[in-house]
Each structure stands twice: as structure tokens, then as C-alpha cells.
Amino acid sequence: MRWRRRTSERVEPIADAAGGSRDGQLDFGLKDGDRSVPAQRKNKAGTRKRARRAPRSASRRSPIRRFVRGLAYWAAVMVIIVTGSVGGLVAYYGSKLPPPSQWTVPARPANVRILAANGELISNRGDTAGASLTLDQMPPYLPEAVIAIEDRRFYWHFGIDPIGLARALFVDIRAGRVVEGGSTITQQLAKNLFLTPQRTLERKIQEVILAEWLELRLSKKQILELYLNRVYLGGGAYGVDAAAHRYFGKSARDLTLAEAATIAGLLKAPSTYSPITHPAAAEARAHVVLTAMADAGFITARQASLAMSSPVKAVKDVAGGSGRYVADWVMDILPRYVGVLSQDIIVDTSIDMRLQTAAAKAVKDTLDQQGAKYGVGQGALVAIDPSGAVKALVGGRDYATSPFNRAVDGHRQPGSAFKPFVYLTALESGMVPETVRVDQPVSIAGWQPENYTRAYRGPVTLTTALALSLNSVSVQLTAEVGPQAVAATAHRLGITSPLMATPSIALGTSVVSPLELTAAYVPFSNGGRGIIPHVIRRITTVDGNVLYQRTGSGPGQVIAPIYVGMMNAMMEQTLTIGTGRRAAIDGWPAGGKTGTSQDYRDAWFIGYTADLTAGVWFGNDDNSPTKRDTGGNLPAIAWHQFMSEAVNGLAVADLPGNYRIRGAENWPPPGAVAAIGEDQPMVVAPGAPGFQRPFQPLGGFLRRLFGG
């Protein structure tokens, strides 16, 4: 057969003379020589010899090879099944996530930097609680420490580390429990940004999906920066800068190698490796981090050794942790001033760190020394200057164990600490400190209140009745002026809680907070001007733009000067001859009032000098009775300790007003017994102003002593 030369037209093949029929038809039939099998060879004798059959293949003859082929087949089947199952799970749980078009990296929450009056940092707050730093702003060994201990192949993998997962699986199987998670930094970031901390299969698969998305959208540098600025590191610190301030009192920019290793060590378990609460464990963990850094080539063995020998000193929290009560209060009221935060801000407060430290120490020392004796578990202290600026605020014994702010949010019965509002109302109705009322049993519509001592002294002046906290006289005065008038006076001076205008208001049965009760005493110290207690002075952005600046001075005059003088003259006697003697400060004019609620559940002392007003409360969170603690005991002791420090270095100043109790110049006389408390009688010489015959069983001894 031959072919014509290719042309532009299709040409059919034709047969030549040797291969076709004469009539031009092709013949495709088999001929004699056309055989489908090899021709048989002939032997020398000329006979045909059978062709040798081809050997069977090795696979048909070898069982091992058949097994290998079967194994490979079923392995391929299993891979297909597993891949399909995993793909199905990923698709199923991935479908529960929002559409990828809606995925965005959440904006970094605003940071709130809360400063004391002198510029000292009290706390960083907000969901990040620290400044946002770039990698270039951090010392290089800080991110290196994190990579070395958390994700050594961070720059190699694509969001998931197969080697790390295999190692973690091996360790977990050998331990028989979950010891390592195998999560990469990208996975941890995905969890922190988008997911809950639940340890479920669904959350883990979603974490992987989101980690891959992050790797597609962001560079490794961006992922690492986000992680370091958002990760939780214990103690309320989110991000390495917040942790640096929390544990070392400095910016993350200034961390040493040893400090950076300590912070990286917190990632495993922040509470377990806190350098404040568990310094030995934190040091051991930091050594593990430094060793990992050397193994990874980030630092030399010598650098690791030097860092291990460098002392790491964690700083205690501001004012023993009490500064966080202030920060909580600031964060609670901040929305009233700036609304929703969209940028980092700085809040300047009125807090005096010297006084804050002294206040926290006074509460803690008093509870440590005598709390168990009196069955008292908690305390609170508030100090306010004459303008209404809060200078110190302690909401409890220890913030770490109980962050509830009893100074602001605790509402308890003030007991006799409410009586100054009764007596002020009486003075404003025309009475004077020398006005006499009879201390005797009282019955009002079936209600029969008793004195603390269940004894009565007969005719007494208002000054004596207030100093000795006589319940019967307070109830009589309330009945004379009216409960509504007493409630109005209290509200006018600064009480903001609702008050029940009933006869029992005389004994402080309506609940109030230490903050508002202390604020209501400030007009006695500043000449009668009402105040609004405040802690925020100014709010600015980090670039200095002022968002809020405090102005104004409060509601103005709420007590006439003449009554301010009378009340101060009366309440000075509480510290001189009354129930608050333990609070007295040598050489300093001061006034105040004790308070004890029913069944000894609450004990108060609210007192003031011309420079500062402070209120102290002690009791139990479950409202259980104490072991007969009174306002003249623990509260007066703590108030004395705090105010002694507060007035240190100040010039002595008289209380406002020049009213003097008539006849009190030489009272009590020299040699008279004057040990006083809510559980002790007052004893002065017969004939002196305010003298009352002592009650039994001391009567016989005192009659012989004084000849009466």
C-alpha cells in the first residue's frame, strides 16, 4: 500500500497491483501464511517442534507480592475513607462558622491607663490592658523566647505544625492524658480572636480552619505581633506590655532577657508561674525557656547561663493590690464621661498613692491582728479631701481573693454612724449642744429601742448623748423633728441611697455604702459645703487631646456655718470622752462618730480633720454577726492608724467653726476616770457638765471614790 502526497483535499488510500484485486476491491481475508501464532520451528529431522510457552509472571507465582499489592490497595482505600471523613467533618463544623466574607480580625480593644495624682501607674485596663507594640519596639529576645517555647517551627509551617502535632500525640498517649496540645502560635491566636476556650472537637477543627485563614491573610510578622499584644498572661494582663507593667513595673520595651523568659513562661499556665505569687516556679520555668532559646539558636549558652543567674524581682501590685479596687471603680464610671472607647486613653485620678498604701495597710493590719478575735473577715476604707476628691479607696482585705468593692458597692446598715444627721436636724430646728433630754426607756407605737448598755443616765445634754451614742435620745429627737426631716438632711449632705423615713431611721437601719456615708461627713470638715465624691480629674488620649476635665465644686453650702461649729464641737467629744476614744490623734482636732448595727453585724467609724475625712467599715460578707465588734474597736483602731499617717508632716489645723461647749473648758477634771467605749460607761467627777450617776455594779466603788 502506498500513500499519495498530502494535498489540501482528503485522499483515500489505494492498493497497488500486488496487493489488490483486479476490480479494485481490497482483499482482507487470511491466507495460508497469515498465522496468529509463531511459526513452529523444525528439527533436524524435519519434523515440527512445539513452541515453548512463555513463563508465568512473578506476581502470579509470589504470595508476598500478592499481599503487598492487596495491602497497598486497602491502604489507598483507607486513605480515601479517612480523607473523606475528615473533609466531611471540616465541612460540617466549618459550616457553623460565619461566611468567610464576614471574617475580619477584631480591632484591638482600647487600653485605659489609670494614673494616680502624681502620675504613678495604678493599673492598665481594657481587654488588652497594655500598649500595642510592634516587634521592632520590643527587645528581639522577647518574641524569640515565645517562639522557642511555644512554636519553634513558627516560620516554617503554614498554621499547623504536623511535627508538633505528632509529638504532642505521642506524649499524650504515653502519659495517658492530655499533656501537650500541639497548637501553633497561629492556632492560639485564632482561638483568642474568634473562639471560646472550650476543648471540643468542633472548636479544634474551627481553630484549624481559622488558623489557615490567618496564614493566608497575614504575614508571619503580623501574626506574631497580634499574638504578643493579645495573649492573656495572668493577673488581668493581656499582652506582653501589660504583663511587663503587671509583674515588673516597666514597659515591655525595657525587659531584660531573664524577664522576657519569665513572661514567655507564663504562657503555659499564668497562675502557676506568676513571679509574684509563685516566684520559685516562675524562675524554674524561665530557665526552661532560656534553655529552649539556646537550643533554637536564638541565644548562646553563655547568654542563657548569665540570664539564669540574673535576679528577677517582680513588683508587688500597687498599694498591696488595693489599687485594683480603684481601677475597677474607674472602669465602672468611665462610660459616663467618654461613652464607648475607640482609642487608648489616659485617666488621671485624685488618688494619693501614699494615702492609698496607708489605707490598705491599716485595713490589713487590723484584720491580721484582731480580725479573728472579733470574728471579722472584711474591711473597707474611703478617704476624701474637703473638695470631694477621693484620695484613697480600699474595697476589701485582699483584691486577689475577693475583688468585690465593699467601699463602693457594699451597702450595710450604718447604725449609730447615722446619728449626726439626726442631731444636725435637731440643731437646725432650734436646739443647741447644751439642750437636755432625758435618757430613759422609750416606746413608739410598740417599738421599744434600748441603749447599747441597756442602762439609762437620766437628763443629759445633746453633746453627751451624741458622744455616748445613746439610742433613746436619738429616737426622741427623731420623733420631735420627724423622720422625713432627718432623711432630708441626710440626702442634702450626700446620702444617695433610699432611706426609710420611719422612727427607726434614728438608729441607722437603712443601708448605705462607705463611700456615700463618708462623703456626707465631708461638709462638717470643710465649713458646710456639699461635695460630690469623685476620683476622675481628667481624661486624655495618648497624644494629649483632652476628652474630659473636671470643673465645678459641688452643690454649694448645705450646712449653715453656725451649725457646722456646733456639730464639730459635739463630735470632737466623741473622740475625747465618747465612744471613739481609740481613734483620737494626739495634738490634732478631729471629730467623728462610731456606729454598730444590730447583732454586731457592722462596725463603723467615720471621722475627719480639717484636711481629710475617712470612713472605715468592718464586718462579714455573709452578714453574719461578729464577736461583739463595735465602731469603737476595730474601725476606730484602723482609722487612727491611717489618719496618723495621713496628717504626718501637715500643719495642725482647727476644725471649722468656733463654737465651744459652755462649761467644758476643764472637762473632764484631772484624775477622773474616762475609759469609754460602747461597752463601757463614762465616768467623770460629780458636778461636772454632762455628769451622770454611773450605773451598777461600779456604783458603790465610785460613790466611795467621789464621796457621792
- 478 shares a domain with 438: yes
> How many angstroms separate the CA atoms of 211 and 223, rounded?
10
At 55 the pLDDT is 54
Q: Which of 629, 646, 663 is the last residue of a domain?
A: 646
Rounded to two decimals, what is the model's pTM? 0.73
Position 376 in a domain: no
Pick the last residue of a domain from 646, 673, 699: 646
Is the Cβ–Cβ distance between 89 and 205 less than 8 Å? yes
Contact partners, residue 565, CB within 8 Å, separation at least 6: 656, 657, 658, 659
On whether both 88 and 132 belong to a single domain, the answer is: no
CATH at 299? 1.10.3810.10
My answer on whether 482 and 553 are in the same domain is yes
pLDDT at 700 over 50: no
- Within-domain flag for 201: yes
Residue 54 is assigned to a structural domain of this protein? no
Residues 288 and 423 in one domain: no
More confident of the two residues 129 and 649: 649
Answer yes or no: is 576 within a domain: yes
**Has residue 553 been placed in a domain?**
yes
Task: Report if residue 703 sits inside a domain.
Answer: no
pLDDT of residue 672 exceeding 50: no
Whether residues 159 and 92 fall in one domain: no
Three-state secondary-structure class, residue 24: coil
User: Quick check: is 338 in a domain?
Assistant: no
Does 569 fall in a domain? yes
Among candidate residues 123, 144, 150, 474, the one labeled active-site is 150
Query: Which is catalytic among the residues 416, 474, 525, 597?
Result: 416
DSSP-derived letter for residue 314 is: P
Same domain as 399, residue 304 = no
Whether 272 and 410 map to the same domain: the answer is: no
The full DSSP string for 400-429 is TT----TTTT--B--GGGGHHHHHHHHHHT
In terms of domains, do 154 and 299 share one? yes
Q: Assign 27 a pLDDT band (cuts: 50, 70, 90).
A: low
> How large is the average pLDDT for residues 668-695?
36
Tally of domains within the chain: 3
Torsion of CA 500, 501, 502, 508, to 10 degrees: 60
More confident residue, 187 or 60: 187
**Of 51, 77, 96, which residue sits at a domain end?**
96
pLDDT band at 699 (very low <50, low <70, confident <90, very high): very low
- Backbone phi, psi, residue 348, to 5°: -90, 125
Domain around 225: 128-315
Lowest mean pLDDT across 150-154, 170-174, 373-377: 170-174
CATH classification at residue 524? 3.40.710.10
Q: Which of 520, 464, 526 is nearest to 688 (CA)?
A: 464
185 shares a domain with 310: yes
Q: Name every residue whose Cβ is closer than 8 Å to that of residue 236 and which is 6 or more positions away in sequence.
A: 123, 125, 129, 242, 246, 324
225 is catalytic: no
- Map grid coordinates 513572661 to a residue: 263
In terms of domains, do 424 and 541 share one? yes
Q: Kindly state whether residues 552 and 476 are assigned to the same domain.
A: yes
Mark whether 495 and 631 lie in a shared domain.
yes
H-assigned helices in 468-560: 471-481, 483-493, 514-525
Tell me if residue 504 is catalytic.
no
